[in-house]
Amino acid sequence: MKKILLALMLATGAVQSAQAEDVLHLYNWNNYITPETVKNFEASCKCKVVQDYYGAMEEMLAKLSAGAKGYDVVIPTGFAIPPLVKQNLVQPLDKSKLPNAKNLNPAFLDAAFDKGNQYSLPYAFTTTLVGYNDKKIKELGIDPGSWSIIFDPAVLAKIKGKVTVLDDSREVFAAALMYNGFSANSTKPEELKKAQETIIKAKPFWAAFNGQSYIKELTLGNIWVAHGYSNDMFQANTDAKAAKRPFGVAYSLQKEGNTLSVDNMMVLKSAPRPDLAIKFINFMLDGKNSAQLTNLIGSGNPNSSAAQFVKPEVKSISAVFPSADNMKKLQQLNALEGKALRDLGRMWTQVKTAK
């Protein structure tokens, strides 16, 4: 009898339905979608969303490369896309099922890391910049609009022990390269050497390499300057206001240029529910849904139709919505592989062990 029932289930597809529940598994940065957006998607698709989080691109890449399965949608930063494609971990997007893709700003499409957007579509973006205690920095007469605030020993002498930088080799080297007038993506040995010298000279003035708790440290007033992401500075300022601190956390782009991180939605090849994955991506490309993320965390928005739903106080922040002139100075980091990646890793180790 059991064999007969199993045959009937296979014939009707009941086994498949029982195994593939109406659940979308999302692998994303922490705090990178609003609870309201999740609730609305669940209602519209009559499904559940289960989320898992990562704190760094390297963590996500390592987990997927090691064979982790069960996720439908993943949201990597641009430079992490080529490795995912190269490892055959993602599937091409069926654009005929994504009518809301028309809402995207063309300036964020057809990027070098995915020409023609075969595998990915933009979700949100951040800039990497300097956040600071507005009261202290004003009192000390320091210009926060230059990378000198984290690299010039003469400036750092005024704020020694009150500065943190990201624990991220690509971002720290990119900032030092731009400070010295080079491309953030330079792989020229002499330019990387100059950037490394800049970092090592500045390091004794820094309190720590910190990519995890600088929001809290800024909010508490324990540090006065942090190298970090624009949406994190938005959060730090929001928290400082809520705690009624006697200072604010301001943030601005640097005159030498900044890096731009565009995060993108992709469907994994092993996705249990690729149908829900496509529905989710199309849902997030709706302007109103996309704007909810910007209003919550202060992320930049690559969706042209979202602008009308973004709160004016968020839209007015130049680091969140850079002007056309500032956009020209933003650089996306390229994927590094092979010798270039090994060279940077070696130089980073030298930075971390330097006294």
Residue list for the binding site for spermidine? 168-171
264 bridge partner residues: 122
Summarize the annotated binding site as residue ranges. 168-171
Structure tokens at 127: 């800039």
Structure tokens at 85: 């494609």
To 5 degrees, how large is the angle CA 22–CA 81–CA 297? 70
Strands 258-268 and 73-74 come out as antiparallel
Place of tokens 């565009």: 262
Helix, strand and coil in the chain, % to nearest 5: 50, 15, 30
Q: Compute the half-sphere exposure of residue 107: CA atoms within 13 Å on the CB side of its CA.
A: 15
To 5 degrees, how large is the angle CA 132–CA 311–CA 165? 20
> CA-CA distance, 27 to 72, in Å (whole number)?
8
CB 271 within 8 A of CB 73: yes
> CA-CA distance, 73 to 278, in Å (whole number)?
9
> CA-CA distance, 247 to 215, in Å (whole number)?
14
The CA R_g of the chain, rounded to the nearest whole Å, is 22
- Helix (H) / strand (E) containing 63: helix 57-65
CB 228 within 8 A of CB 166: yes
CB 11 within 8 A of CB 267: no
Residue 59, phi then psi, degrees to nearest 5: -65, -45
Structure tokens at 69: 């399965």
CB 23 within 8 A of CB 48: yes
